[in-house]
């Protein structure tokens, strides 16, 4: 039964069977129904009329239903209609879509007749056909209008925010169907993307990554981030945010950050560092080769000459003192040359480093330093459980070698402290003296020792800190990462 004057109602439903059933229901609720099939011509013929109530089915023609609701809400009518959207299935994307179009409420089809009758009564009261008995209806409707205006303003602000985000934001259903995207790739229109699966836009071998990430999401592991490459070759860091956790049919938000340039730059830096590490390794090999050449060539020849001269001296009778003196000085020079050759061999590539590792090699450097007249050295090593990769050992050895040489020649310090340590991620050496110090800013680029310390650390992905002040000594700290790539790069160098 109707409750008063009939309410002019526009019903838009593409399905004839649903349209007839809805028209009968609305008529029983007191509506004067004008039914439209939902084609563009029907929309155009009815949208200009004044309807206090509009009921729109959006299952069969969602795009046209959306645009019709928007046109109806923005048309220049004297009345502000109540717009009800009907659907047999709702998801977050469709709700957000229709609310943005100006829909007042979303109903599950088929609608409850008693609930529809209540809505018709509200429309009748607002249109002035009859006053409801509740005294707070006017206040309720006014509050609803203000709330709707606030909602529209909030939606405009939210849409402006989303559209201007530097990231690409995608709303997708549980089946990965794209329902909303804030920006489209160059050369594509929204209609080419909306309704398609998000998985279609990425390389086939990367699609399973997203599927696995969503499964972890459903298992309660929180927001997931995966890196994928799309069909255009662009790299993306994609964060997957659920609308409802632990619900298999829940839609999701995909926040996509273009990391193509960043990833390319990182890979270029890594390739450069790998190339430079190979060069450093080749440089160490050259030093080793020179050491072998000196040992097997010059050093052996000098030793042979010394033995021959000593044998000749013993076999010949003593001659005058002048000849004996010259002969003795010649032997002394040969002995000094042999000692210098051995020192050069140890400096170029000390056998103890290759044979026993960094700790004995540093102890060997300390022994040479003190033999050459250097100050007292305190050495402590902690956390080293085995041999390090060859480039790491070489870099640490050269750092200690250069620092001890500088301390002996320039610092005038009677005490030097060396701390070598290793944890699960880094190896670190710190060398401290209490000598005259210097101003690091005044050291030119032609001082290759300090530059070599910095460059070796940089090439191996580490850091080198050189701190000194005149009169306050010097502190040098080098920290190098224990990374897997280092071993890979070392193997590549060996193969080269």
- Span 55-78, pLDDT tens digits: 888 776 667 777 777 777 776 455
Rounded to 5°, angle at Cα 185 from 182 and 189: 75
The pLDDT tens digits for 224-239 are 888 888 888 888 888 8
CA-to-CA distance for 395 and 385, rounded, in angstroms? 18
Tell whether 344 and 401 lie within a shared domain. Answer: no
Q: Which of 258, 290, 318 marks a domain boundary?
A: 258
- Across the range 470-475, mean pLDDT stands at 90
CA-to-CA distance for 174 and 210, rounded, in angstroms? 12
Residue 326 confidence (pLDDT): 65
Identify the CATH number of the domain in which residue 45 sits.
3.40.50.2300
Q: Which of 104, 132, 160 marks a domain boundary?
A: 132
Is 148 domain-assigned? no
Q: Which residues contact 111 (CB under 8 A, 6 or more apart)?
A: 22, 25, 84, 86
Query: pLDDT class for 493, splitting at 50, 70, 90?
Result: very low
Is 152 domain-assigned? no
Tell whether 388 and 278 lie within a shared domain. Answer: no
Tell whether 114 and 44 lie within a shared domain. Answer: yes
Q: Edge-to-edge, what's the strand order for the sheet holding 235-242?
A: 178-181, 168-172, 252-258, 235-242, 224-229
Written as one string, the DSSP assignment of 159-192 is HHHHHT-SSEEEEE-TT-BEEEESS--TT--GGG
Structural domain containing residue 63 = 7-132
Is 174 domain-assigned? yes
Residue 315 confidence (pLDDT): 63
Tell whether 412 and 282 lie within a shared domain. Answer: no
Is 315 domain-assigned? yes
Tell whether 375 and 442 lie within a shared domain. Answer: yes
Residue 132 confidence (pLDDT): 41
User: Residue 217 has which token pair?
Assistant: 């999401």
> Is the pLDDT score of 478 beyond 70?
yes
Q: Does 351 or 406 have the greater pLDDT score?
A: 406
CA-to-CA distance for 301 and 298, rounded, in angstroms? 5
Tell whether 359 and 474 lie within a shared domain. Answer: yes
Q: Which of 271, 273, 335, 279 is nearest to 302 (CA)?
A: 335
Q: Which of 349, 364, 394 marks a domain boundary?
A: 349
pTM metric for this prediction: 0.41
CA-to-CA distance for 119 and 252, rounded, in angstroms? 32
Is 447 domain-assigned? yes
Tell whether 283 and 414 lie within a shared domain. Answer: no
The pLDDT tens digits for 404-416 are 988 888 888 889 9
Is 392 domain-assigned? yes
Tell whether 368 and 424 lie within a shared domain. Answer: yes
Paired residues of 449 in beta bridges: none
Residue 231 confidence (pLDDT): 85
Q: How many domains does the chain have?
A: 4
């Amino acid at each position: 039964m109707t409750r008063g004057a009939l309410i002019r109602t526009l019903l838009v439903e593409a399905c004839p069977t649903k349209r007839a059933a809805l028209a009968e229901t609305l008529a029983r609720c007191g509506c004067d129904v004008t039914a439209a099939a939902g084609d563009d011509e029907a929309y155009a013929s009815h949208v200009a009329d004044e309807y206090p109530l509009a009921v729109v089915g959006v299952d069969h023609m969602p795009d046209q239903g959306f645009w019709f609701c928007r046109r109806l809400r923005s048309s220049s009518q004297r009345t502000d209609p109540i717009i009800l959207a009907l659907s047999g299935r709702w998801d977050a994307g469709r709700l957000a879509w229709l609310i943005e179009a100006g829909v007042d409420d979303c109903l599950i089809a088929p609608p409850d007749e008693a609930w529809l009758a209540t809505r018709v009564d509200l429309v009748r009261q607002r249109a002035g056909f009859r006053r409801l008995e509740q005294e707070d209806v006017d206040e309720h409707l006014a509050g609803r209008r203000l709330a709707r205006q606030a909602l529209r303003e909030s939606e405009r602000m939210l849409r402006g925010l989303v559209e201007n985000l530097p990231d690409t934001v995608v709303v997708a259903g549980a089946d990965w169907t794209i329902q909303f995207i804030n920006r489209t790739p160059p050369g594509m229109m929204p209609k080419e993307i909306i309704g398609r699966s998000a998985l279609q836009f990425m390389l086939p071998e990367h699609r399973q990554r997203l599927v696995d990430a969503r499964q972890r999401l459903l298992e309660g592991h929180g927001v997931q981030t995966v890196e994928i490459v799309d069909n255009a070759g662009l790299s993306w860091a994609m964060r997957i945010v659920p609308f409802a956790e632990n619900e298999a049919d829940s839609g999701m938000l995909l926040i996509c950050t273009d990391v193509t340039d960043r990833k390319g730059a990182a890979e270029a830096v890594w390739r450069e560092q790998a190339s430079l590490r190979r060069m450093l390794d080749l440089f160490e090999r050259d030093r080793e080769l020179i050491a072998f050449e000196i040992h097997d060539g010059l050093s052996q020849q000098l030793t042979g000459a010394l033995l021959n001269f000593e044998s000749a001296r013993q076999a010949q009778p003593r001659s005058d003192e002048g000849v004996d003196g010259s002969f003795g000085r010649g032997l002394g020079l040969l002995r000094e040359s042999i000692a210098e050759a051995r020192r050069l061999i140890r400096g170029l590539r000390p056998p103890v480093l290759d044979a026993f590792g960094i700790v004995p090699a540093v102890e060997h450097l300390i022994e040479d330093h003190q033999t050459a007249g250097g100050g007292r050295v305190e050495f402590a090593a902690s956390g080293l459980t085995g041999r390090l990769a060859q480039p790491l050992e070489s870099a640490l050895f050269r750092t200690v070698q250069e620092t001890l040489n500088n301390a002996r020649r320039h610092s005038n310090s009677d005490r030097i402290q060396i701390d070598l340590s290793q944890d699960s991620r880094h190896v670190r050496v710190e060398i401290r003296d209490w000598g005259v110090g210097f101003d690091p800013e005044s050291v030119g680029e032609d001082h290759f020792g300090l530059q070599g310390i910095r460059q070796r650390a940089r090439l191996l992905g580490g850091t080198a800190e050189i701190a000194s002040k005149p009169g306050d000594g010097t502190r040098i700290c080098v920290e190098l990462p224990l990374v897997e790539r280092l071993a890979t790069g070392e193997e590549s160098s060996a193969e080269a």
